[in-house]
A and B are shown apart, each in its own frame.
Chain A
């Protein structure tokens, strides 16, 4: 069974640019959640995707958007990057949404630096 993978590991962008981060969910999982973890903070929920539809969103502006594909992998897109977007971006997958007590399995994260 393959765990959650994320790419790239690190990347550096400049203000105003756009970035796409990728996540492959764990085998058998159809729900993906994205979190932003700023330095010294806990992870903060961005949004969740279930069967290619957004299923809940945190307090992030519309320039944060996402996609989920038929194979349940997912992308996080951030437009018009700002310095405060510098953070570790975590992806977490979980099995069927309707199951109570679902555990979320986290990927290693993508470290984004905005200059």
Chain B
């Protein structure tokens, strides 16, 4: 079964502190992993994907196949990072459905 688990519903950190949003997945095969973000009153948008291995807005995420995890990290959180973050997967190379986790609401306090 395909499943994405985000164990933290809410996460609160202070500005300048490191932040890690956890994501674990269950998938038989080779998935493609994504992080989507939704800022207040904005639409859901792609933040980054494991295939690209890039850093976006200071965020990085490494796919750990042994631990089936794809945690999102940023060394120094900013207030503008406050948003809802969703981890998602789909079949690698496929264009079909994305399977989403329930999301983590990140609040960065001043």
Contacts and interface: CB of A to CB of B under 8 A. Distances in A.
Contact of B43 (A33, A55, A109): A109
A31 interface: yes
Interface size bracket, B side: 20 to 34
Interface in A41-84: 41-45, 48, 55-56, 58
A25 interface: no
Given A41-B102, A42-B86, A43-B86, A48 B97 contact: yes
A76 to B, nearest CB: 15
B95 A43 contact: no
B44 to A, nearest CB: 4
What secondary structure prevails in chain A residues at the interface with B?
Answer: loop
Contact of B102 (A40, A45, A90): A40
A1 interface: no
Given A42-B102, A42-B103, A44-B100, A94 B45 contact: no
A43 B100 contact: yes
A100 B49 CA distance: 13
Contacts of A48: 95-97
The 7 closest A-B pairs by CB, nearest first: A42-B100, A45-B97, A106-B44, A56-B96, A102-B95, A100-B93, A43-B100
